[in-house]
Copies of this chain bind each other. A is one copy, B any other.
Amino acid sequence: MNLVKNPVTGMKDVLPAEAELRNYVMDVIRRTYAAYGFRQIETPAVESLANLNSKQGGENEKLIFKILKRGDKLKLEEARQAADLTEEGLRYDLTVPLVRFFSAHQAQLPSPFKALQMGPVWRADRPQKGRFRQFVQCDIDILGDASNLAEIELILATTKALANLGFSGFEVRIGDRRLLKAMAAFAGFAEENYDEVFIILDKMDKIGRDGVRQELIDAGFDREAADRYLALFAQMEGKKGTEGIRFLKETLGAHLEEQAADNLTQILECVEQTKEADFALVFDPTLVRGMSYYTGTIFEVAMPEFGASAGGGGRYDKMVGKFTGQDVPACGFSIGFERILLLLEERGFRIPTEGKKAAFLVEKGMSASRIGKVMEEAEELRRNGDQVLVVRMNKNKKFQKEQLTAEGYTEIREFFNRED
């Protein structure tokens, strides 16, 4: 019987050129964040379903790969539903595992704790072009810092990482859940409807102000509230950065806690003053970010070449408390690793190399002592930092040499059994 050659549905094999690029990108990200004092951690791929299903993961909780119980724990006859057969699953993000990790090891970690995670996550999404069921996420988080030093650092470090990968001219959009809520309150929406309102607001860049207004009305919301809401956004137009925040602070009055506006203003001012990467930090009152766990600042990276977001994050001060019963302020930024990779591939990005690549072709049937000499010669080049491939000479030497040249070997030496 022949076995199954293809990877499982929705997951992919990574060929050498891509694997090398992935490594390179991870390495740049790792070095950049290390320079900012972020420390890498790892958590297992497998997590308790109790945690994965704790309503922190939103829609992702429907996409969990669940692991069948084993041995005595698996009671097939008694099982009435999938939940009876499983108690663990593959993680669908790195945030739930991070918060669990922090809860378990808090006593051994510095405070505040600046964490970097890079690793695969799994979601049983419908397979589609460019989206896979296993993909890498790359998150930095600061736990234990309630001040906006956290946001400032996350933005500076992440934009630096992107700059170190050659990106420039991009935007980081920033907002605050508290501003969002105050705007909705000011318009007259009821608090229990905010999430529904925000889902519609999130379409602003696609359907425009009139579209959002219409959808709100179609969804059964008060026409007056919708008008008052959209009027706010209309008035914000042309008010860039801190100016827009000042307008909201003045307009929203008691609906907005004063500190929220000042906090955001300070982030904008400080990043503007300090940033080294070529990007714009832009206040975006329409920014929503899907996850309901965000409690304050939210942000998103927008690349000019790329419709969707290439990263994002925000503050989630209430999640650690779900594990420990005691809240710890937390703020994170996730780079859209797979999207960044696609962008680099589309640009034909070449990994900067040191040293040359040489290939040594060895004729079949060579004596041990002569092979030894070839190997010594290869070692000598390697000592200079070169990459040296030693391979046997194929029958079709011409094709082999073409293949090697295509792989980037700039020097090809041939070694025969008899010295010429």
Copies in the complex: 2
Chain A residues engaging chain B, CB cutoff 8 angstroms? 2-8, 11-16, 19-20, 22-23, 27, 30, 34-37, 39-48, 50-51, 54, 65-68, 70, 74, 76, 79-82, 85-86, 88, 90, 100-101, 103-105, 108-112, 114, 120, 122, 124, 133-134, 145, 147, 149, 152-153, 156, 265-267, 269-270, 273-274, 276, 322-325, 359, 362, 364, 367-369, 371-372, 375-376, 379, 382, 386-392, 394, 400, 403-404, 407
A13:B369 contact, CB within 8 angstroms: no
A27, closest chain B residue (CB): B27
B7:A44 contact, CB within 8 angstroms: yes
Query: In the complex, given contacts A2-B325, A37-B359, A149-B392, what are 9 additional A-B residue pairs having Cβ atoms less than 8 angstroms apart?
Result: A3-B322, A5-B103, A13-B41, A13-B44, A36-B382, A36-B389, A76-B80, A273-B368, A274-B375
A43 CA to B40 CA, complexed, in Å: 23
9 CB contacts below 8 A, A to B, read: A13-B44, A15-B108, A16-B39, A27-B27, A46-B134, A67-B68, A68-B68, A145-B392, A147-B392
B4:A51 contact, CB within 8 angstroms: yes
A357, closest chain B residue (CB): B37
A391:B149 contact, CB within 8 angstroms: yes
A2:B270 contact, CB within 8 angstroms: no
A43 CA to B407 CA, complexed, in Å: 21
A3 CA to B47 CA, complexed, in Å: 11
Residues in B whose Cβ lies below 8 Å from that of A2: 322-325
Residues in B whose Cβ lies below 8 Å from that of A110: 403-404, 407
Asked if A104 meets B39 with Cβ closer than 8 Å, knowing A147-B364, A274-B379, A389-B114, the reply is no
Residues in B whose Cβ lies below 8 Å from that of A27: 27
Tell me which of A3, A152, A273, A404 has the highest count of chain B C-beta atoms within 10 A of its own C-beta: A3
A39:B19 contact, CB within 8 angstroms: yes
Partner pick for A273 among B35, B80, B369, CB 8 A cutoff: B369
A153 CA to B371 CA, complexed, in Å: 10
Would you give the shortest CB distance from A104 to chain B, in whole angstroms?
4
B112:A391 contact, CB within 8 angstroms: yes
A147 CA to B367 CA, complexed, in Å: 12
Residues in B whose Cβ lies below 8 Å from that of A7: 43-44, 47, 100, 104
Partner pick for A391 among B37, B44, B372, CB 8 A cutoff: B37
Residues in B whose Cβ lies below 8 Å from that of A40: 16, 19-20, 23
Would you give the shortest CB distance from A368 to chain B, in whole angstroms?
4
A133 CA to B112 CA, complexed, in Å: 31
Asked if A362 meets B149 with Cβ closer than 8 Å, knowing A51-B4, A372-B270, A372-B274, the reply is yes
Q: Which 7 A-B pairs have the closest CB atoms?
A: A37-B389, A273-B372, A11-B44, A16-B39, A14-B42, A269-B368, A274-B375
A16 CA to B74 CA, complexed, in Å: 36
A13:B42 contact, CB within 8 angstroms: yes
B68:A13 contact, CB within 8 angstroms: no
A48, closest chain B residue (CB): B4
Would you give the shortest CB distance from A139 to chain B, in whole angstroms?
14
